[in-house]
Amino acid sequence: MGSTQFPINSGFGAQTTAQQALDGADLSGEIAIVTGGASGLGLETTRALASAGATVIVTARAPDRVRQALEGIARVELAALDLLEPASIAAFAQSFVDSGRPLHILINNAGVMAAPLERDARGYETQFSANHLGHFRLAAQLLPSLLKADGARVVALSSRGHRYGGVDFDDANFERRAYDKWKAYGQSKSANALFAVELDRRGAAHGIRAFSVHPGRIIDTALARHLSNDELRAAGVLDEHDRVRADSGCKTVEQGAATTVWCAASPRLQGMGGVYCEDVDIARAVGADSTEDFGVRPWASDSEAAQRLWAISEALTGVPFRL
């Protein structure tokens, strides 16, 4: 059963860095996979986990282009993975499973934000496909390795962007409704949170616990590449001189990776899961009409919606994910 969606007074906060969130954790002998782990939040997550002793497999669509970013980080392996390509996901997952190694930590970090309408080869809208369906398929196909760990954690990067709306189960791929890049992003981030809810419900008895994470408002990553300066000014991030506003609430990358690392490694979360976390703590549940920047909305934490999403994800990917 999932944990209560209520802060546990972790002792950390919005300014905590990834290294601080580790709080001396020893991950020696553990193996982690971080999708998109060679840039932005993923790179800082990779650094932190490796510094605690973990072996980290970093995935990237074009490994040769990012190899240099990982130089000097111990116990890092680099592998090709394209979350929009089922064959690429299957090849990576099968290679890892065939290695016989357990998978202790899976960080579903890679993603796109507020992109113009594009579709993958199956016709699926790319934000929903890359952010949710690709990671759903990856976790399903890595299941033997997660089970082999005899105690694994899966962390899905959601966002406060989930407040833009839940999953439209009748038109998840914008085939009938008008495309809105923020609604599409919000849907994919709600899906990430619901994925953690249902994976934890199914996986807890098998030693697999899942969490979703809002890293914080961060613009110093490639995730914001689709946003213009006009949009960032309108959002209160940039001032009239296109400099980051002191009151914007933006985090550094080191602070942005903290909640991910905490969910992956903190002993405070032992025996817990199925919750949405932010600022290195479990977030509060808020109402659907909340105007707060923080907290998780009902459509991103509802167990029935999570089960419904699981069913359509199996149907859209054609991959059974049975626990």
For tokens 């553990």, what's the residue? 30
Question: The domain containing residue 282 runs over which residues?
Answer: 18-216+252-315
Q: How big is the chain by its Cα radius of gyration, in Å? A: 18
Q: How high is the pLDDT of residue 221?
A: 47
C-beta atoms surrounding 71 within 10 Å: 7
**How many structural domains are present in the chain?**
2
Q: What is the mean pLDDT of residues 197-205?
A: 98
Residues 148-191 have pLDDT tens digits of 999 999 999 999 999 999 999 999 999 999 999 999 999 999 99
Contact call for residues 34 and 45 (beta carbons, < 8 A) = yes
For residue 142, being part of any structural domain is answered with yes
Local confidence band at 240 (pLDDT 50, 70, 90 cut-offs): low
Q: What is the mean pLDDT of residues 283-305?
A: 96
For residue 7, being part of any structural domain is answered with no
135 and 243 in a common domain:
no
Tokens of residue 22, six digits: 């580790």
203 and 227 in a common domain:
no
Tell me the residue ranges of DSSP E strands in 203-278.
Answer: 208-214, 275-278
Query: Mind telling me the catalytic residues?
Result: 185
3-state helix vs strand vs coil in the chain, percent to 5? 40, 15, 45
Q: How high is the pLDDT of residue 245?
A: 52
46 and 169 in a common domain:
yes
Tokens of residue 177, six digits: 């409704």
142 and 83 in a common domain:
yes
Residues 293-303 have pLDDT tens digits of 899 999 999 99
Average pLDDT, the chain: 93
Domain end: 205, 233, 250, which one? 250
Q: Of 279, 323, 298, which Cα lies nearest the Cα of 7?
A: 279
pLDDT of 254 higher than 50: yes
CATH number, position 137: 3.40.50.720
